[in-house]
Amino acid sequence: MTNSLRPNGDRKAPLPPAQSPAGGVPSPRSPQSPQKKQNGKQRDAFFDNAKYLAIVLVAMGHAWEPLKGDSRILEAAYQVVYAFHMPAFILISGYFSRSFDMRPDRLKRLITGVAVPYIIFETAYPLFKRWIDDDPGQDISLLDPWYLTWFLVALFIWRLTTPIWNLVRWPLPLALGLAMLATVTPEIGDDLDLQRVLQFLPFFVLGLVMKPEHFHMVRRRSVRIASVPVFAAALAFSWWAVPRMNTAWFYHRDAAQELGAPWWAGPVMVLAMFGCSLVLTACFFAWVPRRHMWFTALGAGTLYGYLLHGFLVKAGDYQGWFEATWFHQPAGQIAVTVLAAAVVTVLCTKPVQRMFRFAMEPKMAWAFKRDAAELARERQSAERREREKVSA
């Protein structure tokens, strides 16, 4: 879902994750899942649960950003969450992009579910800042992703390149190589946030090469038990590392030289953090419920929660809500955490989806030519209905 609130800047921030159906990611299907259907497609509760829980962690991380400087414990928790919440989301995106090709209906969905929301929100966020922060000079640029919108750019590029990753013999080593090269190339700049696109790429490619049995492996009881001491060790290490490590490494948005490190530290950190992120992601998946829960249906609306909660976080930043003394005390930090989880949960609900579907999942039939194969299927369907009427 990555730094949500870059100090003294509004141009960069993470987020979510791939969604389904919005966001251009196919709805999860699995023969092992209960017979719950949406839009005629069988959904796997595990993946919807994972997406919902990941988006909650994203919102919590954004809420912690203005407060973590006052608490070493909160900073440690922040680093642990940022080590795996976006990798988990991106990995799921890759897993459900395995069958993506250049078929017209899939390209249309990629445009309407990813490109169009990017244009809308890349425009809406700067306009929002102009209004609420009284900053009429705030620029609007489609080339420099603003705040949360970087993920939409990345998803669009990753999915377009999926046929290539499915073609090459060693996709994951190649993706890791590109990520390592990106960390020693500050000249990449901010256009389309390509540093994040390339540095997070290995997680998407890993999802492309994963199989269902890999997810079954991490859901074993032994993995669930082992994940408890692993998370505890991660928190302890993070607490130790807070004053010793630059948190910006977790955002994957800068080259090593831009973080004041020698060039060789970039490739080393890519490999080290890729390994740490995979371990923590596996531990996260181990605790994701496999059955239908009260929040399972919200997994289909995570793009809504992702893009919309940013307006509230930014409003709090611009209006100074986080400056209240109480919020910087343990009770206040807990309250902010609970509030962030509650707000993003509401933003994933069906009423909110219906309200903002025009921006997230526009039909836009007027913008596309009719596919010949689609027309043929419609004719066959109409002829079949006519025959059924006659026979009746």
Q: What is the pLDDT of residue 390?
A: 72
Question: pLDDT class for 26, splitting at 50, 70, 90?
Answer: very low
Quick one: which H or E segment has residue 42?
strand 41-42
Distance in angstroms (rounded) separating the CA atoms of residues 107 and 58: 28
Distance in angstroms (rounded) separating the CA atoms of residues 147 and 351: 25
Identify whether the C-beta of residue 208 lies closer than 8 Å to the C-beta of residue 94: yes
Identify whether the C-beta of residue 234 lies closer than 8 Å to the C-beta of residue 280: yes
Quick one: which H or E segment has residue 338?
helix 330-347
Peptide bond into 21 cis (omega under 30): yes
Q: What is the pLDDT of residues 58-71, one digit of tens each?
A: 999 999 998 888 88
Distance in angstroms (rounded) separating the CA atoms of residues 183 and 251: 12
Helix, strand, or coil here: 38? strand
Q: What is the pLDDT of residue 392?
A: 63
For the entire predicted model, the pTM comes to: 0.84
Beta strand 41-42 pairing with 37-38:
antiparallel
Question: pLDDT class for 234, splitting at 50, 70, 90?
Answer: very high
HEC string for 223-281: HHHHHHHHHHHHHHHHHHHCCCCCHHHHHCCCCCHHHCCCCCHHHHHHHHHHHHHHHHH
Identify whether the C-beta of residue 138 lies closer than 8 Å to the C-beta of residue 129: yes
Q: What is the pLDDT of residues 361-387, one digit of tens each?
A: 988 888 888 777 767 777 788 778 777
Q: How many residues does the chain have?
A: 392
Helix, strand, or coil here: 37? strand
Q: What is the pLDDT of residue 356?
A: 94
Quick one: which H or E segment has residue 78?
helix 72-95
pLDDT over 70 for what percent of the chain?
88
Please say if the pLDDT value at position 25 is more than 60.
no
Helix, strand, or coil here: 135? coil
Q: What is the pLDDT of residues 174-188, one digit of tens each?
A: 999 999 999 999 999
